[in-house]
Amino acid sequence: MDIIDTIIDRLMIIRTTQEIEKYNKALTITFLSMFPYQSEQGDIIEKMFRKYSEEHTVKEWYESLFKIKIVKKC
């Protein structure tokens, strides 16, 4: 769960400092900053986070300027 929190923190920083409104673009930049080269660990973490994002309201949270909570989708 710590890595999920780290990625979410970095998404907040990207949204705040770079003002990137598109979730997918911000997520790509986040992963590129965390893993600037091809790595097996980076691929695993990205897949894990994308699965988490599909199951939770991460995109909605990001695009709402963090006003809604991240919750599990029904």
Helix (H) or strand (E) holding 62: helix 58-63
* Per-residue pLDDT reduced to its tens digit, 40-49: 999 999 999 9
The CA distance from 65 to 42, in Å, is 26
- Please give the pLDDT value at position 74: 85
| Total-model pTM | 0.89
For residue 1, pLDDT beyond 90:
no
Best CA proximity match to 33, nearest among 51, 46, 16: 46
